[in-house]
Structure 1
């Protein structure tokens, strides 16, 4: 685990025990199963709602049709009986009983429909269709309900075959004291069988559709979760000694998972950069501090505590070595911070003003012929503190290779989409074989004068330029000076 701070980065290299493969597979399957389960539940709920609504609509439509049929039958019977003429013989009716028999015999009932005739409160006639096989004439409750109505009526009655909706029409004839009733009955549950069958069929089709949806969801969930499995697999390969693995990214992917992979890779880049810098810092510190520590221990081991002169000399030597170690640690910390992009504090900077401020600061470094050659009038996004640190380091390096009265120039300019800030001197220059080596840690040119520094100044400058997305350029002709240039991207706002 790596924890970043303002002063640097702390490393904990304790490896986390990998999750067993069976447990990882179980977790992946569990996530996939939950996705499929929720999809299946939503599909079943949707199909259930659709089936229920469809069934209710069909039932309502059937009931409406039954009611319309009852109204039509009653109207037809009323029309026939009001004429007083038997449509079969063309003669006037002779009795109410004849009316009942003639009307019921002349009309063919539909499936699940019954015509009944009652005379003086008792069953007399019934239509020939017998489906369903329930004898309404034998039902005393139904007879009591409809056999003696005095005006048109409607209602419903429960039977062994389910609900019966009925309509009754009283019938009379002048000169005949008998009272008749024509009854039309509909067995509604049989009429509802179509709606029930449609609902059952929709249920079967719905279950099949849900199963197909579950299969499709399982496959789709696998494709969706595959990048997440790649993330987990990559995370498992990262250890304290290997931070090079990255999450595979799909070409042209622009979804949330692709964004997650990009973000994780960027995070891993930052972590790896921090760890590499930290390891390099530790290695450099161990390498460079070993010598002064050995010197101090060697002199303290032979110190004669009874000899004041020896004590004074040893204390002076130890103090000098400790001061050198302090400068070394400070420069290494500065280099480590310079290599951390996350520690940059970017802001929009007026380059012209910054260049003039830098020139005013540099003139106090040493007695040289300081010159301000050019100023770039442009606003650029940068960390002014880090850029100031880099330019001061370049100028300080120039003073080490020049003498009193020698020229050191500062300037800035815009070249296309780049901003360049340079420090040029009239010193001995840098030999071609040293141009790459001078930017390495603890490296100096072959002809470099003795210095109290640790040889990290140009490494710090290079790190600052790199974290800004730029580079350091070196132009030099031996015997005619050197020019170090910060070549930075021009990012204006």
Structure 2
């Protein structure tokens, strides 16, 4: 294999290794390197452009000055007169002398007069640039004495660089031509410009160092949330999800930290739900399993009645386990964004449908207090589930023939749904506990429910951004309220007055249960 082919193969590999090393550097270092590179490139490009423009301007100014001088000599030769005779010039050398007398060289400009292959005239002592002291320049002028036209050229000697014009003067009455040399010390003209840009370079270097210092500090502050995020992520474990990234400001990095914290909230909520589910399953399923196992162990397989009784007990416990699992699955889904699917819903039709369905739950006097004539965005199936759960509780804790009222009302931008019964009521000390998971009132028994009904109701209402409340008195009955945001079509709102058959409590009464992802969950009273 030829060396060139080996080189062609290794160059991409070296580039790849260099890219990997670059990516392996800290973000702060890479950003600072790019910042310094861009700053330096900006200073170099802007400075180089300015230097080039200024240098071009200096060269143009020199050439313009030389061209003006040539034009003045031409006019002098055509129209001028010899001061000594008062007549037009007849001698070329005299014309050069007069022209030099009338010329005031600029700084870094000098002049010489030639005739017959030698220097005949020099500038006065006030002129600093002495062209006669540079033999190479003098020789260049003599070498070009045979030219018939004016030339402007750059001449490099060991002394310096010149930009000069050589004017050949030939008069009709003089057989010996003369020459006039005007030249600028080009290096000296550029010295001031180069000194200026040397200062610019030093200032630019200082600017780059200052950018490095300030940028390093500012970059550290800007990237501090990322370091905090990294530290927080490294300290989070499967058993401790409480750490959060400190958030300050409102920029993109702060938004990233906020998003990360929100993700941790969701993860912690999911883990807590998982732990709660495992605890609940382990706690609640242990009892029916023990009952089934105990009945099967002690049953007399030769006694048909004992076998039938054990079978009925096992089926009853398994059915309760199924309901419990279904309820736990519903609660596990409550934390998901798609738990509810809101759609514009006619609350009046929904109220009538719930009353019709609830009437099948038990022999009670079912009445509809009021039906709100509004359209509100909500999940009709979930709300129906929660509403019927309250109706089921009302049936479970009231006597046959008693009245159970269902209604809906909009007041002050809130949609209130309620179920009121004339049952046994709830003791004041139990009104908080019944909303807890597997919480039951003192007047309920384990066989009457899974203990998750009101907890599911709370989860559904909370997912809609609402609250759940209860008002009850032992021996009188209970009224459960579901208060939901009424953000919908309110073109035909209620009159703001509760129906005469409804409970007298106002919307301001009681509770804020159901708001926020970390509040205690509540369960049914039975």
Q: TM-score, normalised by structure 1?
A: 0.84
- d(CA) in 2 for partners of 1:177, 1:239: 107
Q: Is the 8 A contact 2:77 2:89 kept in 1?
A: no
Match of 2:215 in 1: 217
- d(CA) in 1 for partners of 2:312, 2:97: 141
Residue 160, structure 1, aligned to residue 141, structure 2: no
Shift of 1:221: 0.8
- d(CA) in 2 for partners of 1:148, 1:205: 51
- d(CA) in 2 for partners of 1:30, 1:450: 61
Match of 1:77 in 2: 73
- d(CA) in 2 for partners of 1:92, 1:400: 138
- d(CA) in 2 for partners of 1:130, 1:217: 50
Corresponding residue to 1:296 among 262, 270, 292: 292
- d(CA) in 1 for partners of 2:151, 2:393: 116
3-state DSSP of counterpart to 1:139? helix
Shift of 1:354: 2.0
- d(CA) in 1 for partners of 2:279, 2:290: 17
Q: Is the 8 A contact 2:339 2:463 kept in 1?
A: no
Q: Is the 8 A contact 2:90 2:172 kept in 1?
A: no
Residue 182, structure 1, aligned to residue 180, structure 2: yes
Corresponding residue to 1:226 among 218, 221, 224: 224
Residue 241, structure 1, aligned to residue 239, structure 2: yes
- d(CA) in 1 for partners of 2:60, 2:437: 94
**What does residue range 258-277 of structure 1 map to in structure 2 within 5 Å?**
258-277=254-273
Higher RCO structure, 1 or 2 (CA under 8 Å, sep 6+): 1
Corresponding residue to 1:195 among 193, 208, 211: 193
Distance 1:381 1:87, change over 3 A: farther
The number of equivalent residue pairs is 463
Q: CA RMSD in A?
A: 2.9
Cα deviations by residue, 1:402-433 (Å, 9 ceiling, x for unpaired): 23322111111122132210011111211222
User: Larger deviation: 180-189 or 117-126?
Assistant: 117-126
User: Larger deviation: 232-241 or 77-86?
Assistant: 77-86
Q: Is the 8 A contact 1:120 1:148 kept in 2?
A: no
**What does residue range 334-483 of structure 1 map to in structure 2 within 5 Å?**
334-448=330-444, 451-483=447-479
- d(CA) in 1 for partners of 2:137, 2:482: 111
Match of 1:100 in 2: 96
- d(CA) in 1 for partners of 2:304, 2:425: 47
- d(CA) in 1 for partners of 2:169, 2:138: 22
Cα deviations by residue, 1:190-238 (Å, 9 ceiling, x for unpaired): 3222222222211111110111111111111112112222222332332
Distance 1:139 1:447, change over 3 A: same
Match of 1:134 in 2: 134
Q: Is the 8 A contact 1:166 1:185 kept in 2?
A: yes
Distance 1:206 1:122, change over 3 A: same
Shift of 1:101: 4.3
Instruction: Identify unmatched segments of 5+ residues in structure 2.
Output: 1-22, 490-526
Q: Is the 8 A contact 2:151 2:167 kept in 1?
A: yes
- d(CA) in 1 for partners of 2:488, 2:269: 27
Cα deviations by residue, 1:239-282 (Å, 9 ceiling, x for unpaired): 222222222222xx332223223322222222222222221111
Shift of 1:83: 5.2
